[in-house]
Chain A
């Protein structure tokens, strides 16, 4: 009797592998254990994830301003540093403020007449305004002694192209603008920056958006497309990260710039922190304070690389295209990539992610319940 059972169970064993081929793989991976109280009480994996995020997370790291190492800590270097402070704050700073003030005066006294008197000659007006803006940006760069090294072919003014760059501070725009008059897409700012946005930048072509308005995105997309088609428009400069990052990492690029059906020319910017950290931590200081900090340091040193124009490859989605360009820029500027959306600085993550985790857990419980 036992032998008969033995042989029949052997036959059953042969059957089992076939049965598994017909079962969906998910339930095979789940070990067929019954559900116990322990499984529901043990929340340690979830707690570990939460504690891990509290201790360190890859998103906050992107916005950490790393303070420079103090080098003035001994009796020989300290007086040198003191002398440096005196020179920087007492001599350089007033000089730079003076240069900036003179620059503004010259700019405004040329800009407004050109703007109003040449209304009838739009081509000339545009040309002159562009040159004036370029000049003003050079003055700005001089006011914080910007030492900028440009690599690669200079951007040319022709339609059907956009430029994308990684974003560290609003001075990125100034550094690039002094070479070529770009049109820009910017977040609406308050205060004197907003004033400049409304008056001067209008002349080079500007598109506004408001992060807090969700309907804005559709409108902005349309404006981008219109701009790119226009022959006389300045080439458009876009910062696809959508926010300032600390120049050690890049956050995910928004796909808006990559679905316009035109060439995307990547620009990589890397600041050398040797004299100053150019990261504008907008949560910690206003733009004015940021500029003052730049103007009281010795210099702002950076490298700008104009990279080869890229096109959407057949079969590539805009998001894949954006990631590919982000790879290029991160590799060139030596930045680490992080899989987060920059807007998480301002908004909470979508509940979709939490729901996914809940779904996985709920399904595993229900599966094991069915086994009974």
Chain B
């Protein structure tokens, strides 16, 4: 299922469903496919960064650049797998893993002070100085028992974010 053709066979749907661990129903996958084809203007089989940025609501999201690195050039199967973290059926662990991946954008397996600073910079822009951001981060890290030089792993994320849990759900509009 490399190229985005305009029809999706039952076999394709099942393959995609398996790839995303059955977190989306077949109807939702068909709806997502329509959306994918709508965004992928010249039927290349993937959505380019430019096409994502043509969605105004996405473009004005503070984390859009970071997310683009994760979604740019994904084929349909991986596109659905990415979005599956936002399914109501996805586990808390799955959602926390996605958040971890957003921080650890270069996939080192650990989140450093630099990563935390970058995300905070995206979220606050010019409304906080770099010193203020570093100060805040050092403060909350030390309060949680880490230092500026700690490398934070996925398990640490799970520990911090598990209670009282996360609400991270998106509904796929099915006709």
Contact = CB atoms under 8 A, between A and B. Distances in A.
Q: How large is the interface on B (under 10, 10 to 19, 20 to 34, 35 or more residues)?
A: 35 or more
Contact of A358 (B58, B71, B127): B127
A44 B127 contact: no
B93 interface: no
Contacts of B128: 362, 365-366
A46 B61 contact: yes
B68 to A, nearest CB: 10
A358 B64 CA distance: 13
Interface in A35-86: 35-44, 46-60, 64
Interface string B92-130: 000100110011000000000000100110011111100
A355 B169 CA distance: 24
A51 B157 contact: no
Interface string A84-117: 0000000000000000000000000000000000
A354 interface: yes
Interface residues of A, number: 46
Contacts of B124: 358, 361-362, 365
A283 interface: yes
A39 B120 CA distance: 11
B83 A55 contact: yes
Which label, helix, strand, loop or mixed, suits the secondary structure of the A interface? helix
Interface string B42-64: 00000000001111111111111
Given A50-B58, A361-B124, A43 B99 contact: yes
B136 A55 contact: no
A64 B38 contact: yes
B90 to A, nearest CB: 11
Contacts of B139: 35, 369
B125 A50 contact: no
B140 interface: yes
A47 B123 CA distance: 11
Given A64-B38, A369-B136, A349 B86 contact: no
B30 interface: no
Contacts of A353: 60
Contacts of B62: 46, 354, 357-358, 361
Given A35-B139, A42-B161, A47 B102 contact: yes
B157 A41 contact: yes
A40 B170 contact: no
B61 A53 contact: yes
Nearest to B167: A44
Given A52-B57, A56-B173, A359-B125, A38 B160 contact: yes
B123 A361 contact: yes
Nearest to A42: B161
Contact of B56 (A55, A349, A355): A349
Contacts of B167: 44, 48
Which label, helix, strand, loop or mixed, suits the secondary structure of the B interface? helix
Interface in A342-367: 344-345, 348-349, 351, 353-355, 357-359, 361-363, 365-366
Contact of A47 (B54, B63, B137): B63
Nearest to A47: B168
A40 B56 contact: no
A54 B172 CA distance: 10
Contact of B170 (A51, A59, A361): A51
Contact of B143 (A36, A51, A58, A359): A36
A369 B53 CA distance: 34
Contacts of A35: 136, 139-140
Contacts of A54: 52, 55, 58, 71, 83
Interface string B133-175: 0001101110110100000000001001100001111111100
Interface string A18-50: 000000000000000001111111111011111
B82 to A, nearest CB: 8
Contacts of A359: 125, 127
19 contacts: A37-B140, A37-B143, A37-B146, A37-B160, A40-B116, A41-B157, A43-B63, A47-B86, A50-B58, A52-B57, A54-B58, A344-B56, A349-B59, A349-B60, A353-B60, A354-B62, A354-B125, A355-B126, A357-B62
Interface of A: 35-44, 46-60, 64, 283-284, 340, 344-345, 348-349, 351, 353-355, 357-359, 361-363, 365-366, 369
Given A56-B173, A57-B58, A283-B41, 20 more contacts: A35-B139, A35-B140, A37-B141, A37-B143, A37-B160, A44-B166, A46-B61, A48-B170, A50-B61, A57-B57, A60-B38, A60-B55, A64-B38, A340-B56, A358-B123, A358-B124, A362-B128, A363-B127, A366-B132, A369-B136
